[in-house]
Structures are given as structure tokens and as C-alpha cells.
Amino acid sequence: MAEVIGALGEIVGAAQVLTGAEAAGHARDWTGAYVCDPLCVVRPATTGEVAAVLRLANAAGVPVVPLAGNTGLTGGGGADAAILLSVERMRAIRAIRPEAHVAVVEAGVVLADLQAAAEAHDLAFPLSFGAQGSARVGGALATNAGGSNVLRYGNARDLCLGLEAVLPTGEVVDLMSELHKDNSGYDLRDLLIGAEGTLGVITAAVLTLVPRPRAYATATVAVASVEDGLALLNRLQRETGGAVEACELMPGRYLDALAAHDPAVRPPFDARHAVNLLIEVGATAPRDATPGPDGATPVQAQLEEILGDLFEAGAVHDAVVAQSDAQRAEMWARRERAAEVVLAPGPVAVNDLAVPLDRVGAFLAQADAAVAARDAGAVPLAVAHLGDGNVHYAVRLSRDDAALKEAIVEAVEEIVREMRGSFSAEHGIGRAKLPSMRRRKDPGALAAMRAIKAALDPAGVMNPGKVLPD
């Protein structure tokens, strides 16, 4: 393969082809669970260079794995003897078009950098999750990332108007539309989004920007039940005109685990509660965001009034409304540390799933019972985006037992199937969920996906061993 490495150096420059120890940082994912031994890491700077790399790889039959921020959780970013194609040098924000509310960006742009660039124009790019300081646009689109603001703004797919991508054969597909309506045949943009790099490499995108909230009302709320939490969310949606940006569920067991993981983290309340929510309302209109004589904004006063009514009715047990940016950040920090809490050393079974909104409470009760029946010493550590039904259901096992782990994952999946939910909500399939795809995905859908893969990637070089089970 020395000839391939040499040819890659001629395309991107020898300094941008990493091998051996230099490639190690790219060959290990964020979780540390997936490590590969790649042929090399190549770092192109232009779409033309990406196309040349893919033409070379396709002709030589060498696998190519696209990499962005390498923050994935399902093992989607590595393969032995493969070219790891990193888009980290393709980080130009080509244009911000404020009147059209769009940003034209390259795939290597870090989400936090795009958010800052949009804010300079009094706009926002609302895709938000814990890894936004290192995750990049290409990876977010390749996995159709979600996060905490899906409730109001949708997934990555909903925020993308157009794409530029390179197919496995090296052909560049220019789908860089800024249009909101374009019914001109098959939607190849949506096909490439969520494909996890198995159909090509996303190199640029046209993304939707939204008005930047002028004020936030953020609260941590203890409620009597998940159903009461959903009722609170629905009331807030009605009375704020759909301005709720996030409604995050943090059960008491998760907060217990967070405190054990980092004793410096303050609990949200003096007393422990079984069901806790992080709720945030974003106000874009000046009438809702301008502070009154008491310093409170109307949107904050509205949230406090609704919480007070529900407290009197017994549906809310306790509530704290953030009075400063520092208090708001403290509330969000509790939720955004979920990944490091769940992935702390020790055996764990992880499900990233979605069920209908009104079934979240029932799902948690049934899943907890199924886990207890299989491992009496296990501790479920669920958190959820309650507003969109996405539950991150992790289970800390009492022992390191692969068969037990698989049994719990399957039992949870069966509950999800009965509720007509999905075993994969926002993290993608990668390698981790190939068994789930094999046993849960509709056979007809799998056959169609394989046909699409074969048509676009006949040599099978793009991100092999991901998404589609053998």
C-alpha cells in the first residue's frame, strides 16, 4: 500500500497524510471503545482533493472512512487498513446570508464556531448538544444529529437546505440549494444525511439559521410523574406559542449517579425527587424579552406563573428558575454531563431509542421492570429529551457479562418495538447497533438500503461494516 500512500501525498501534500503514531489520535473514538489500525489519515483541504482521494481509493479498492469531529458514540468512524478521510481542514464559513437566514459552510466547521458566527448577525444555528465544541458539521449531518433543541427546531436534517458531497466514485454532487421548496426528483440530500458516510463524503452544506432568542427562561422542575412533566410541557407550548426550546428529563437515579461521579456538582433541590425536568423557553420578540421594573423578563414571569399554578395543584413538587446566566449554565451542566456519567468505567448496556411522547413514562416503568428481572443489582441511568420522545436508556450492570448485556438490550428493544418506537434515535448505527439492525429493521427496508448502497458504491469502499448488517 506504499503506492497508495504516496499517491495520496501527491493529492493533498505529504504533510497531510498521517501514518503510524501520527494517526493514532484519529484512530480512536471519543468513548475509547472503538480503536482501529488504519492505513493512514488523509486531510484534504478542498472538495477537489476529496474527489481525487475517492477516485484513487475506488480504483485501488481501499476502504475510506469519513471523519469529522470524531465525537460519535456508536463506532461509526474507523476501520482497519482504511483511509481515514478527515475534513478537519475544510472549516471555512463561506457565507452568512442574514436576510435569507442561511449559512454556507464547509463540513469541517465546528458547531460552536458556526453558532458564534450566526450570533454576530443576531441569528442562531440551533443544533445544540454536549459535544458542540468539537463536533463538526459533516459529522452532524452524516448522523442526522439531534440534541436538546429538536423540540423547537428539528434534527440536523431539518436545518439543512442543501449539500455538496462526493460519491464513492469521486463524482461531486452539487446540491447546494438555498431553496425551501424544490420538488425535482429523488431527494438525494436527505439520502446522504444520516447515511453515516456509507454513500459518500459530505463536503459542504447550506444550513438554516433562526432568530436568536433575546431572553431565556430556564428552570429545573421536580414533578410528580413523567406524565405530569408532559402536561407541563404541553401547557407551556400552548401559552408561549411553541417557544419551548428544550424539555429534558433527568430521573433521580441519574442525578444520584452524577453526584457520585462528581461530588462537586450541586443537586438541584434540597430534597431528592424521582422525576426532574430541565425546561427552557426562548423569547425572540422584544415584548417577551424586555425586563420589567423588577428585572424579570415577561417570558420568565410567565414561566414562574405557570409553575406556581401547577405547584398549587400538586403536579409540581419543587422548582428553581434561573436568575442569571451562571445559574442557567449550572442547570445545563447537569444534563450535558450525561455521556461521561454513563460511560464511566464499569459494565453498561446502552440504548438510544425513541417512543411516542405519551409513552415515555410507560416505557421507563416497563424497561425498569425488565432490567430488574434480569439483573436485580442493575441501576438504570436514563435521561431523555422528553419533548421529542428520545430516551437514552443506559443500565449500569452488576457484573461484566456480555450475555447479560445483550439480553437487557434485546429486552428493552422489544418494549420499544411493542410501542412502535425506534431502537436508534439520534446517535446513528455505526458498529454498535448492527445487531439491532439485523433483528429489528424491516427486511424490506434493509433490502432497499442494500440496493441503494450497491448502486452508489459498487466497490464497497465507503465506510464498510457500518449501518448495514452482513
Lowest mean pLDDT among 14-18, 258-262, 339-343, 371-375: 339-343
43 within 8 A of 86, measured Cβ to Cβ = yes
Query: What fold, for 215-337?
Result: Alpha-Beta Plaits (3.30.70)
Domain spanning 345-428, CATH class:
alpha beta
Region 147-163: mean pLDDT is 95
pLDDT band at 465 (very low <50, low <70, confident <90, very high): very high
Q: Write down the pLDDT at residue 344.
A: 85
pLDDT band at 375 (very low <50, low <70, confident <90, very high): very high
Q: Tell me: domain 93-211, CATH 3.30.465.10, correct?
A: yes
Matching fold, domains 215-337 and 345-428: yes
CB-neighbour burial class of residue 257 (10 A; exposed 0-12, middle 13-18, buried 19+)? buried
- Per residue in 437-453, pLDDT (tens digit) is 999 999 999 999 999 99
317 within 8 A of 273, measured Cβ to Cβ = yes
Q: Write down the pLDDT at residue 31.
A: 82
pLDDT at 73 over 90: no
pLDDT band at 1 (very low <50, low <70, confident <90, very high): confident
Region 324-339: mean pLDDT is 95
Region 246-265: mean pLDDT is 96
Q: Write down the pLDDT at residue 104.
A: 98
More confident: 32 or 351: 351
Q: How far is CA 447 from the centre of its chain?
A: 26
d(CA 259, CA 265): 6
> How large is the greatest C-alpha to C-alpha distance in the chain, in angstroms?
74
Query: Which has the closest alpha carbon to 23: 51, 65, 73, 74?
Result: 65
C-alpha cell at 298: 415577561
Phi, psi (degrees; rounded to nearest 5) at 412: -65, -45
So where are the chain's domains? 93-211, 215-337, 345-428
Region 422-433: mean pLDDT is 94
pLDDT band at 32 (very low <50, low <70, confident <90, very high): confident
| pTM given for the model | 0.94
